[in-house]
Structures are given as C-alpha cells and as structure tokens.
Amino acid sequence: MPNITSPTARFGNATGRVAVAASMTLEYTEENTDATGQGAAALEDLFAPVSLGSLRVPNRFAMAPMTREFSPDGTVTDDVAGYYARRAAAGVGLLITEGVYVSEDSGPSTRVPRLFGEPQLAAWKRLVDAVHAEGGLIAPQLWHLGAERGDHATFNPELPTLSPSGLSSSGKTRGRAATVAELERIRDDFARAALAAKEAGFDAVELHGAHGYLLDQFLWDGTNRREDQYGGSLEARTRFPAEVAAAVREAVGPELPVIFRFSQWKSGDYAARIAKTPAELEALLGTLADAGVSAFHASTRRHWEPAFPEVEGPDGQLGLAGWAKKATGLPSIAVGSVGLSNTFEVTWTEGGRSDVRGLDALLEQLGRGEFDLIALGRVLLSDPAWVEKVREGRHAEILPFRAEDRSTLS
C-alpha cells in the first residue's frame, strides 16, 4: 500500500512541465506576454493532446463537475446520457460528471446519481458507452457530503449524518462525529464505487475533496476538531483522505487515473484555507500523491488569481493549479470562471448573467506551464458547443451564461 504518512520533499522539483509555446497574436488574445516577460501559449496549444497518467486526453479541455439532480432514484436517464454525449461530440476532451454518491449516507437527495445498485450501474454503463461513441473520455466524481448532508435528508433520512467532528463549514453543529469504524466503512464505500466505475468503463475517477464536503472537512482545521489519529496536525488531518485515495488506488489498480479535487475556499467561506503557505500545500498534496493520486484538480472561483500572492518573484503569480503542479510534479487541472466575466455566485441566482470573456489570462498561465487541463463549468451549461466554437474561431457565436441555463439539460 502506498505510503500515506510521509510526503516526499518534491517542492520545486516538478517534472513534465508544459513547454512554453511560441507566442502568436490570435483573435482571442489581447496580450502575448505576461508580466514576467514569458510568452503566452497560442490558442491552438489548448487543442494539443495531453497525458493524465496513463490516459491520453485529445485536448486540454475538461468539463467541470456540476450537480444537476436530473436522476430520479439516483439513476441517470437517457436525457442525462445525451447531455454528456453532446459535449463529448463538441470536443470536450475529458468529461467529469456531477458529484456521484458512493454510499447510502453520502447525501440528502434522491435525485443525485449513485454508483451502487444494479439499475444505477446499468444506466451508467449506457451513459459511458454513449460518451465513448462520440469519441469522449469520462470520469465520475465520487462524492460524500459529510456534515453538508444536513439533518433533513430525503434520501435515507433514518441514517445519521457523519463527518470528522459534527460541524458544518459555517461552524454549526450538524450530525455527529464518525467513529473510526464508520470511517473505515466510508473508505471502503469510496473504493467499491471506484471499482464499479472502472467496471462500467469509466476512463478515470475523481475524488471530491473540495468545497467543504467530507474529505475536505478532514483537511480543514475549521471542521476537523478530532483528537484521535485523524485530527490535530496537518499530517493527521490529511490521513483519512489519503487512506481513501490509497484504498481507491488499490481497488482500481495501477493504471486508472485517480484525480483529487481540492480547494482552499468552502461553501459560504471564500477566505478559508487548508494550506496557509506553499510549504503546507506541498505537505498536504505530497501525502495524497504518495497515496496514489494521479492528478490534482484545483478548484478556484477565478482561475487567473494568484494562490499565494504574498510570495515574491514570478511564483507569486501562480494560481492554485500551478502551485499543485510545482509542489508534486503531477498533472494539474485548473478551473474557475473560464471564458466568463464574473464568478458563479454572481450569476447563480435568478436573473443572473455572465458575459463572454477572452482567454488571454488562460493562455498566459498555459505558457507558464501552470496546468495540463482546464475545466469548463458554466460555459458548457449555456453553450454545449463552446469548445468547438473556440476551435473554429466562431467566437462571436459563443453564448453568455444565464442563471436559467442551470435548470436544463440542453
């Protein structure tokens, strides 16, 4: 089993950095050099294939996971399959599904898809086949909400809500702290779901360790007040997520990519930080890498914002995905308001809208080698053909995001 307690010192020794592309002035860029004088990548470099562990992705675009709740009784429908297949057909290199429950106590909704149960798994197989028929690749996001499941679940309301310390991201008491035996069961639930995904034909799996959900609740000292082996120091707080990653790796074998999504911010607390310094981030991500994680999906609200602006020199410009790659040498996925003029909380309420934004900042980051894949969220809800339009230079045809786009499966 991989070492999950002693991260190796790899900071500043990352390998496999993206080469800086020759700069070109293209219609969709405003600049061709960044503040350090490094060349921005060319737009066409976003369409070059890239490796994610053993998986060869045809371009650098991924679809970010977005909860849709269009799956009655946790079973994806033909409409959901078509929703993903259309985006594969339009050129998204890797689709990461909405969060998928791994266990009977993962979350509150009966309409979030599940990765257990015969009808549910059969439906996933049909969906995966539909995406593959369009030439796409797809990974499920394995999800347990922990305390964010709440106290009024409609899915298995008789089951307790479990988390590290029975605390929500806002600091309120919610549910109760899980026992060690319950944590072992949840760890095994993640592993079983990952194996089921592999058997259904998925090309990778992603662990949801961000946004204040269960795995993230262990990483953040605001929600982890445990006094056993899973709480206290940063090393101890990372132990359970690393055990989950190691169990998933053992279940799926050495080849299937295992992505870990993480964030600094939590739902309702955008100032929260699991790592206050680059060194802390190195220790945290290094432990997960040693446990078998293949790539890191760094969730931010604005992909262009520096993660540690207090750092002097060029590294002070790096976004969170750039720091993840620098710290581990593993592939990174960036995300956060790509192609849009404002962040999700501004446009997620009724009547909200976000206009189209150019990709100059994104190309500067690619030129610096900050990410391997860039995940697209709301732009793919409003415009399934966004990648195709960018590739073909049809920028004037790209649709803005409207809040009502989140309630359809276009």
Query: Residue 262 in contact with residue 245, Cβ under 8 Å?
Result: no
Q: What are phi and psi of 172, to 5 degrees?
A: -85, 150
C-alpha distances in Å from residue 279, one per residue of 171, 243, 272: 26, 21, 17
Residue 299: helix, strand or coil by DSSP? strand
C-alpha distances in Å from residue 230, one per residue of 163, 243, 288: 12, 10, 14
What number of other Cβ atoms are within 10 A of residue 165's Cβ?
Answer: 22
Find residue 232's DSSP bridge partners: none
H helix runs in 73-179, sequence order = 78-89, 118-133
Sign of the four-CA dihedral 119, 123, 126, 132: negative
Angle at 92 between CA 89 and CA 94, to 5 degrees: 115
19 burial type by CB count under 10 A (0-12 exposed, 13-18 middle, 19+ buried): exposed
270 is catalytic: no
Sign of the four-CA dihedral 141, 201, 58, 356: negative
C-alpha distances in Å from residue 294, one per residue of 158, 280, 291, 325: 36, 19, 9, 11
Query: Residue 95 in contact with residue 139, Cβ under 8 Å?
Result: yes
Angle between helices 278-290 and 234-252 (to 10 degrees): 30
> What CA–CA distance (Å, rounded) separates 10 from 18?
18
> What CA–CA distance (Å, rounded) separates 384 from 396?
15
Query: In terms of Cα–Cα distance, which of 44, 38, 193 is closest to 107?
Result: 193
> What CA–CA distance (Å, rounded) separates 398 from 28?
12
Query: In terms of Cα–Cα distance, which of 277, 198, 298, 205 is closest to 245?
Result: 205
> What CA–CA distance (Å, rounded) separates 361 from 376?
15
User: So which residues are the catalytic ones?
Assistant: 213
